[in-house]
Amino acid sequence: MDVQEHVLSRAVEGDRRAVEQVLAAVRPLVSRYCSGRLPRWDAAEVVDVVEETLIGVLTALPSVRAQDQVVNLSKSITHD
């Protein structure tokens, strides 16, 4: 994930544009992660898991302090 620290900081503070940038950066990572681990699922199910993961990231974003936390959080939510 390639998000500048100041963008992440603004997202944590609630800046809508920054939040969109963070979620846009996370989406392809989560999508690849899910597709690789859920090969028997159809595309619609993978999309559902990706969307639920992004909602979880959005909800937890105020507690995030670094990019690696976003990636780890995404993986953790995906497993749940």
Q: Which residue has the higher pLDDT, 27 or 71?
A: 27
Q: How many domains does the chain have?
A: 1
Listed in sequence order, the residues at least 6 apart from 58 whose beta carbon sits closer than 8 Å to its beta carbon are 19, 23
Per-residue pLDDT at 36: 76
Q: Which amino acid, one-letter code, is at 26?
A: V
Please choose, from the candidates 56, 31, 29, the residue with its C-alpha nearest in 3D space to the C-alpha of residue 43.
31
pLDDT for the residue 55: 93
pTM: 0.80
For residue 47, the enclosing domain spans 5-79
Angular region, 14: left φ>0, alpha ψ -120 to 50, beta rest: left
In the prediction, which pLDDT does 1 show? 65
Q: What CATH number is associated with residue 15? A: 1.10.1740.10
Per-residue b or e along 18-49, where b marks 16 or more CB atoms closer than 10 Å to that residue's CB: bbebbbebbbebbbebbeeeeeeeeeeebeeb
Q: What is the pLDDT of residue 24?
A: 93
pLDDT tens profile 4-56: 888 889 999 999 999 999 999 989 988 888 877 766 767 788 888 889 999 99
